[in-house]
Amino acid sequence: MNKIIIFGASGRVGQRLVEYALTDKYRVTAFVRDKNKITTSHPNLEILSGNVFNREEVENAIKEKDFVLSALSGRSTKPDYSVLSVGMKNIIAGMEKSGIKRVIGIAGAGILDDPEYGLRRNRPNYPEIFKLVSAENWKVYETFQKTNVNWTMVCAPEMPEEKRTGIYRTTNDYLPVDGRRISVEDVADFILKNLDNETTYQKRVGIAY
- CATH entry, 3-208, from 3.40.1190.10, 3.40.50.720, 3.40.50.170, 3.80.10.10: 3.40.50.720
What local confidence, expressed as pLDDT, does residue 74 receive?
Answer: 78
What local confidence, expressed as pLDDT, does residue 76 receive?
Answer: 67
Buried b or exposed e, range 115-146, using 16+ CB within 10 angstroms: eeeeebbeeeebeeeeeebbebbbbbbebbee
Q: Tell me, rounded to whole angstroms, the distance of Cα 146 from its chain centroid.
A: 18
Residue type, 124: P
Percent of the chain with pLDDT over 90: 95
Domain ranges of the chain: 3-208
43-85, pLDDT tens digit by residue? Answer: 999 999 999 999 999 999 999 999 999 999 877 677 789 999 9
Contact call for residues 50 and 57 (beta carbons, < 8 A) = yes
CA-derived radius of gyration, the chain: 16
What local confidence, expressed as pLDDT, does residue 84 receive?
Answer: 96
